[in-house]
Structure 1
């Protein structure tokens, strides 16, 4: 289990991340749930689920693990059973966040590239089933983490903190579980998201060329075409969400590959380049749980309008009280 660090930059970064990540994800959930952003219900389901998963990651990985772990190291959350449960929840919430991004990317691929399958797959019911399945499998798959730890020491018959069992490093089953865990998150999602994006962009470029030819457009003309405009908005939303995910998880993936290839387990200090790479990877992957709301605000006009209305609402209430 990765332990919280005590360097000054991290002591500042994680509280700020928690203070920003919780409200922005709550705002995204509220605005998207209202269904007034001009998005289909299928897309809305995925975006709300992703915001919920990101919120859970912030609460578990940032608040419970990093902030409380550093500032309140002897809290009741450090009792071994709760420490083990917290670790399993951290992995489960990360998995759900990652695989919901994959599910959303695949849904947009089907909607844009597979017209025959679109009407059957891109529905509210299918989205709900996929979301529920992702959350359920993420929880089930990470149950073994609870049993991977033992107490670090015992005080007055109370076990405290978590440390890996010795068998975790020697058992073939535990090694296989650890490898599978990192293959499924994030390497397979990175490959799938990149593949679906590539196929989607290729399909849109080909479809746009064909549509322009059928409409008799000439190069340089600026004629309005609602269908092409809708495709453009869809691809911007898709690429910004999945592109952000890929960029912010890439450092973690690079460190893990280096860690496995070189068997680097110890660092010379906080100025060790490998240690910095490791911590930067964790910081960026947790930052990815706060970026989607910014993406919606930048790419979606109606989301920005709803955000403004939400910001004005408390002021309107205050104005009414003083009338």
Structure 2
């Protein structure tokens, strides 16, 4: 006699404390980076600050305005069709901005490490602002079609409710092309670009470090600390921590996309279906990528840790003064 396994859908009983913690962490990162006291160049600070802002927007649009209402407030005003469509479009815009700013930061560090002549012109605060603005503008424009991809499920008292994908998405050449381009650009192309840039950066670092050690050994005859190599090492640790974290948390999404693309049957049978678990796991890890960079800064940057510690102590210091 076979026993049917009950369907189990794992959810948090009360996710609000977790969401509030993630929002607080990102807000603290934004506040600390905006002060510019972390010992990083202005160019790097601009990229890290923009990434922190877009990560915060991902949490707000994809979690607070999308997933939480879908589970706990299904009849709220957020599910009037225009609001629902706007929430979906904003989620994709913030996601794409976050991903491609990571690519832009990786490319900036690749240029800074591998091309010293180009570094003088490209790795500047002014250029960083231009790149960040361009990336966010293009990501926002690319996400506009998502607003028009949905139609209401119900119309109650002339008010359209909920969002349902239009049938044209599966039949229209335009929507099919847009859907493919969206999935190819994010995450596949961005994922491969980050991986390629890291490989080229590592190769350049190994070659440059070997040559520099050989020159210093010939000139000094003994091993001495090299400030240039030390500064480069700190920059490399930060770069690889951020991009490595991105690769680890997005690789499941890439695998899920490939499996969905080449599978002949991708319908979910239940919440226990491995395909459903793979999809939800990839979504969870993708959203997790938007709240881990703050911890990376704290682990890899001593000045950031000091600023973070001072920020956490400040309320208690003020409270102590008030009590006295």
Corresponding residue of 1:3 = none
Corresponding residue of 2:242 = 241
Q: Distance in 2 between matches of 1:46 and 1:136?
A: 15
Query: Which TM-score applies when normalising by structure 2?
Result: 0.94
For residues 8 and 15 of structure 1, do their structure 2 counterparts lie closer, same or farther at Cα, with a shift above 3 Å needed?
farther
Q: Distance in 2 between matches of 1:7 and 1:140?
A: 39
SS in 2 for 1:173: helix
- Residue 148 (str. 1) matches residue 115 (str. 2): no
- Say if 2:29 and 2:52, in contact at 8 Å, map to a contact too: yes
For residues 100 and 84 of structure 1, do their structure 2 counterparts lie closer, same or farther at Cα, with a shift above 3 Å needed?
same
Which segment is superposed worse, 50-59 or 254-263? 254-263
- Residue 29 (str. 1) matches residue 37 (str. 2): no
- Residue 257 (str. 1) matches residue 269 (str. 2): no
Q: Distance in 2 between matches of 1:313 and 1:113?
A: 41
Q: Distance in 1 between matches of 2:304 and 2:264?
A: 46
Unmatched tracts of structure 2, length 5 or more: 1-6
- Say if 2:8 and 2:272, in contact at 8 Å, map to a contact too: no
- Say if 1:17 and 1:287, in contact at 8 Å, map to a contact too: no
Q: Distance in 2 between matches of 1:42 and 1:313?
A: 28
Corresponding residue of 2:4 = none
Q: Distance in 1 between matches of 2:148 and 2:224?
A: 62
SS in 2 for 1:159: strand
- Say if 2:217 and 2:223, in contact at 8 Å, map to a contact too: no
- Say if 1:201 and 1:235, in contact at 8 Å, map to a contact too: no
Which segment is superposed worse, 9-18 or 52-61? 9-18
CA apart distance, 1:9: 2.6
For residues 137 and 67 of structure 1, do their structure 2 counterparts lie closer, same or farther at Cα, with a shift above 3 Å needed?
same
Q: Distance in 2 between matches of 1:82 and 1:64?
A: 10
Q: RMSD of aligned C-alpha atoms?
A: 1.7
Corresponding residue of 2:11 = 10
Q: Distance in 1 between matches of 2:240 and 2:28?
A: 22
For residues 292 and 203 of structure 1, do their structure 2 counterparts lie closer, same or farther at Cα, with a shift above 3 Å needed?
same
Unmatched tracts of structure 1, length 5 or more: 1-5
| Aligned 1:161-176 pairs, distance under 5 A | 161-176=162-177
Q: Distance in 2 between matches of 1:11 and 1:178?
A: 31
Query: Which TM-score applies when normalising by structure 1?
Result: 0.94
Which segment is superposed worse, 70-79 or 268-277? 268-277
